[in-house]
Structure 1
Amino acid sequence: MDIKEIQNLIKFVAKSGASEVKLEMDDIKITIKTGSESETTIVHQAPAVQIPQAAAPAVTEASTPAASQPSVSAASEDSKYITIKSPIIGTFYRKPSPDKPLFVEVGQTIAEGDVLCVIEAMKLFNEIESEVSGKIVKVLVDDSSPVEFDQPLFLVDPS
């Protein structure tokens, strides 16, 4: 079971409304507990004895999914910047396709409704639009890397 399958399982459990799900397979044990504040996933994988393989991450944590729009909040370390966060779990991409230019770059001025990135979840590419106007100060996630729900993606200077 790879990380994408685990992420899809987390999304499915969160949408189903179940409070706890346990899954045991030959070499993997997964427990997903959802609560009002957070969702925790614990993955235990027995060491491979037949063929050496890359081990799956031991623990994956994610917050409970909420809205489908990116959440925007003030960053605690620097209150003048606004943090744009991921609305879903998936894979973060800065370009619409490998041969296309980046959606946004550091220093670029953005307007409300501009597409900032796409997040692939369950083979669907979701365009993440800005809910604020301002200037991109920092991109907090590397291209083609997995992101969790509510993970900070961009810092925006609204002035």
Structure 2
Amino acid sequence: MLSGSSIAGSAQGEACLLNYNHMSFGGGPLEVGTEQEAEKLASQNDKDSANEADVLSAPPKLVYNNYVLRLSRELLVAVASGWDKHVVIIDKIIPQAWKDEPVARILELCILHIAMAEMASKGTPHKVVINEAVDLAKRFCDGGAPRVINGCLRTFVKDHVDVAGTSQEAKSKS
């Protein structure tokens, strides 16, 4: 087994990272026919668990500087402070299918909240925010999500952000 300090620079560590499946969510209980199969699955589970522990204990490659931490904090505050208002807006602009299964759309809804908060509080140009939100959806969501997120955010911009890029919410505060 690799220790957290030895994983970073070794060939074994690289292999460990390459074997790590960050998308495995377990699944339902497995049924086996023989004790041998059960032992084999238990052994594989032990190897996978050790591999996961090594990967999770490895030092992060990204060093968080003060700018990244400050930006993250500002976005989280903006999301939290605009949450109730954005929930009402999102409820009006998302498709009915997303309303029918909101738990299945948590990631998509989070992307919408973050994008709306960034446009409303940070004043980031809406084209940049929409592009980043669509890129996130392409990477982490199902096939139709990027198109829906694009449409929802364009509707938000049309209805809630003026031509200069200032949110009506930010203008009302000043």
Range of TM-score over shorter length: under 0.3
Q: Please state which structure has a larger fraction of its residues in strand.
A: 1
Higher gyration radius (CA): 2
Alignment TM-score, normalising by the size of structure 2: 0.24
Alignment TM-score, normalising by the size of structure 1: 0.25
Q: Please state which structure has a larger fraction of its residues in helix.
A: 2
